[in-house]
Amino acid sequence: MIKTYTKTAKLIIEYLGGYKKVANIVNRNVIVIRKWAYPFEKREGKGGIIPAKYQIMLLNYAREHGIDLRPEDFFYPERLQRLMQEQHPPITKICKSSSVDSAGEILQH
Q: What DSSP state is assigned to residue 38?
A: S
From 71, 70, 65, 52, select the one nearest 91 (Cα to Cα): 65
Number of structural domains in the chain = 1
pLDDT at res. 42: 82
Q: What is the pTM of this model?
A: 0.71
Query: In a 3-state reduction of DSSP, which class is residue 52?
Result: helix
57 lies in which domain range?
2-108
Q: According to DSSP H, which parts of the chain are helical?
A: 2-15, 19-26, 30-37, 52-64, 78-85, 98-108
Contact between residue 42 and residue 2 where contact means Cβ atoms under 8 Å apart: no
**pLDDT tens, position by position, 12-68:** 999 999 999 999 999 999 999 999 988 878 887 787 889 999 999 999 999 999 999
The more confidently predicted of residues 89 and 16 is 16
Distance CA 66, CA 16 (A): 11
